[in-house]
Amino acid sequence: MITDKLQKAINEQITAELWSSNLYLAMSFFLARKGYPGMTVWMKKQAAEEHRHACRMAEYIISRGGVVKLDKLDVVPNDFGTPLEIFKQVYDHECRVSKMIDMLVDVASAEKDHATQDFLWGFVREQVEEEAQASNIVDMLTHAESAGVCVVDERLGQRI
């Protein structure tokens, strides 16, 4: 049986995961509107992944005899910047999520709930990947932007 305190904390995380899912979905619609079909696909998959995280946490609460409570979700932004700015936001958001998961581990530890700590380690590991993945995309986009500047520079160098 899971303690009330831990159940409440995981329920809050479920809401945060669903909010993240909506955030990425909104980003995917924005990217679609701006004509980036590849990034749209990536972002939709990211949204689906966050939705799966929420479901995994909900199933875990149920398996421990707890009750899942879905809360209302705050609105997400609908307007974003360039692809580079968007993926920087993704990276920052994933870093915030990592901190939230760490705090959940702290609650599970304080409640001396070993099973929940074990369950959460999977998410701790997953966040390492999430951060690395977003950071790699930021790097790729940064390099792509510099490549564009190099092309312009070369053309300007051809002035007669």
Name the residue with the smallest CB distance to Mg ion. 53
Can you tell me which of 26, 53, 60, 120 binds Mg ion, judged by CB under 5 A? 53
Single out the residue of 128, 125, 123 nearest to residue 104, CA to CA: 123
User: Is 94 near Mg ion (CB under 5 A)?
Assistant: no
Can you tell me which of 7, 39, 50, 137 binds Mg ion, judged by CB under 5 A? 50
Rounded-to-integer distance, Cα 111 and Cα 121, Å:
16
Please list every residue from 11 through 40 that binds Mg ion, using CB under 5 A: 17
User: Is 113 near Mg ion (CB under 5 A)?
Assistant: no
Q: How far is the CB of 4 from Mg ion (least distance, A)?
A: 23
Q: How far is the CB of 20 from Mg ion (least distance, A)?
A: 6
Alpha-carbon torsion 45, 49, 54, 55, what sign? positive
- Interface residue list for Mg ion (CB under 5 A): 17, 50, 53
